[in-house]
């Protein structure tokens, strides 16, 4: 089977996401896989490290993805990266949105040469009798008619409530609805996302994230202490993309309230989040940003964490649909997790759900004295491995 994977997250990032695990599982199952790699300014190419996998091609496509279509207009200015929706509504009422649209560049606009490059590449993955395109974001939806004509089966893997990115300029929700309606089936990582997709496609299945158990269980083994880790106090850790989805006010609150704890964050930093990080850092000497680490080195760092955090912003788009892979990975490493309220995480072992800042802080204290039973975690995770998720995905593929 030929498989094409479309997602805005680059391949060689320091932490693996759902799309990376699917790529590896499809490849190891004997399928030919094309991972469409979108250049993204949020990732430092010098720090990108990945692993080589048989049957997998990483295609660095000729189009640079950017959710903010105004970035090319605002170089050298202080215009905010997020366009105020009120301003857009005013422009619409003034009947000048057409002129405004003429001046901007959207991620749908491509030159004829770029379109031909996509078609050429996709054609090379259309030779098998069975071929699949798995979308994890409504990018390149304009190629859906081509995929259908070539006999591809379409899957939409819904992993986030993407209304967060919607605006009259991006029209993300309209594109997602089109994608859902034209997919042979839809996967959803949260019940809320499943209910939403079912309105447009009856073939929508609940398939949550999982754990790469064999990799992160290494965090339970004795290992040398990374030299850049602070010492002397308990380590409250986070690993993953450090960006606007994190609650800067929550972080500043808990870090300032616990100067006797070291808060260590590992991961690529979104430049748009830099100012908030600098503010937290200037207020707190116990806040440490260690940058991105190789995926294979993460267990070594997690071993020295005492507790891990999921400090996301408490927006409805997050609390109803969030299902972080990091929770499974932290548990596999034998560490408790303190999280904001996430509907999907209720009932997980050693995950301390917090409904406000005060409870989040209290749960950090409680988690540090938690007596972890590895057998309890292992029993839970053995039912929630990526391999188990992939077997279900293959069952769904047999239906189409």
User: pLDDT tens digits, residue range 221-249?
Assistant: 999 999 999 999 999 999 999 999 999 99
Which pLDDT does position 98 carry in this prediction?
47
Which pLDDT does position 23 carry in this prediction?
95
What average pLDDT does this structure show over 279-284? 95
CA-to-CA distance for 363 and 216, rounded, in angstroms?
23
Question: In sequence order, which residues have a C-beta less than 8 Å from that of residue 370 and are 6 or more positions away?
Answer: 336, 350
Which pLDDT does position 42 carry in this prediction?
44
CA-to-CA distance for 360 and 125, rounded, in angstroms?
48
* Cβ atoms 38, 63 nearer than 8 A: yes
- Taking only the tens place, the pLDDT of each residue in 74-132 is 333 334 434 444 544 444 444 444 444 443 444 445 456 777 888 889 999 988 999 99
Nearest to 187 by CA among 175, 177, 198: 198
- Other beta carbons within 10 angstroms of residue 1's beta carbon come to 15
Which pLDDT does position 100 carry in this prediction?
43
Given CATH 3.40.50.2000, say whether it is the number of domain 213-381.
yes
Given CATH 3.40.50.2300, say whether it is the number of domain 2-69+105-210+387-397.
no
Considering only residues 132 and 64, tell me which one the structure prediction assigns the higher pLDDT. 132
* Cβ atoms 273, 299 nearer than 8 A: no
What is the H or E stretch that residue 35 is in?
Answer: strand 32-37
Tokens of 172: 């993300």
CA-to-CA distance for 210 and 388, rounded, in angstroms?
8
Maximum pairwise Cα distance, the chain: 65
pLDDT band at 62 (very low <50, low <70, confident <90, very high): low
- Taking only the tens place, the pLDDT of each residue in 141-154 is 999 999 999 999 99
pLDDT band at 377 (very low <50, low <70, confident <90, very high): very high
- Taking only the tens place, the pLDDT of each residue in 314-341 is 988 899 999 999 999 999 999 999 999 9
For the chain, which residues make up each domain, given as ranges? 2-69+105-210+387-397, 213-381
- Taking only the tens place, the pLDDT of each residue in 20-55 is 999 999 999 999 999 988 765 444 444 444 566 888
């Amino acid at each position: 089977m030929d498989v094409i994977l479309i997602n805005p997250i680059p391949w060689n990032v320091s932490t693996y996401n759902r799309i990376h695990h699917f790529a590896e599982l499809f490849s190891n199952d004997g399928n030919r896989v094309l991972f469409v790699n979108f250049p993204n300014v949020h990732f430092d190419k010098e720090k990108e490290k990945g692993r080589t996998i048989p049957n997998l091609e990483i295609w660095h496509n000729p189009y640079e993805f950017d959710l903010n279509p105004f970035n090319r207009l605002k170089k050298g200015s202080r215009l905010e990266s997020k366009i105020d929706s009120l301003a857009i509504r005013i422009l619409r009422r003034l009947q000048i949105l057409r002129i405004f649209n003429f001046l901007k560049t959207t991620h749908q606009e491509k030159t004829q040469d770029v379109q031909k490059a996509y078609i050429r590449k996709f054609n090379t993955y259309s030779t098998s009798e069975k071929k699949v395109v798995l979308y994890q974001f409504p990018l390149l939806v304009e190629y859906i008619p081509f995929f259908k004509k070539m006999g591809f089966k379409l899957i939409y893997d819904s992993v986030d409530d993407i209304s967060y990115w919607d605006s009259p300029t991006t029209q993300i929700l309209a594109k997602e609805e089109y994608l859902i309606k034209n997919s042979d089936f839809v996967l959803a990582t949260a019940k809320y996302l499943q209910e939403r997709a079912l309105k447009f496609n009856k073939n929508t299945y609940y398939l949550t994230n999982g754990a790469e158990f064999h990799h992160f269980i290494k965090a339970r083994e004795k290992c040398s202490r990374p030299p850049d880790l602070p010492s002397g106090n308990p380590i409250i850790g986070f690993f993953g993309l450090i960006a606007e989805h994190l609650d800067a006010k929550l972080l500043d609150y808990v870090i300032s309230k616990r100067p006797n704890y070291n808060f260590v964050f590992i991961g690529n930093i979104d430049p748009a989040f830099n100012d908030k990080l600098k503010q937290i850092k200037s207020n707190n000497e116990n806040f440490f940003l260690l940058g991105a680490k190789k995926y294979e080195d993460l267990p070594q760092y997690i071993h020295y964490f005492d507790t891990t955090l999921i400090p996301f912003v408490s927006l409805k788009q997050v609390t109803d649909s969030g299902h972080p892979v990091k929770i499974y990975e932290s548990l596999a490493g034998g560490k408790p997790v303190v999280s904001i309220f996430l509907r999907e995480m209720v009932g997980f072992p050693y995950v301390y759900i917090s409904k406000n800042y005060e409870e989040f802080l209290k749960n950090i204290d409680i988690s540090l004295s938690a007596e972890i039973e590895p057998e309890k975690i292992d029993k839970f995770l053995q039912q929630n491995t990526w391999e188990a998720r992939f077997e279900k995905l293959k069952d769904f593929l047999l239906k189409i």
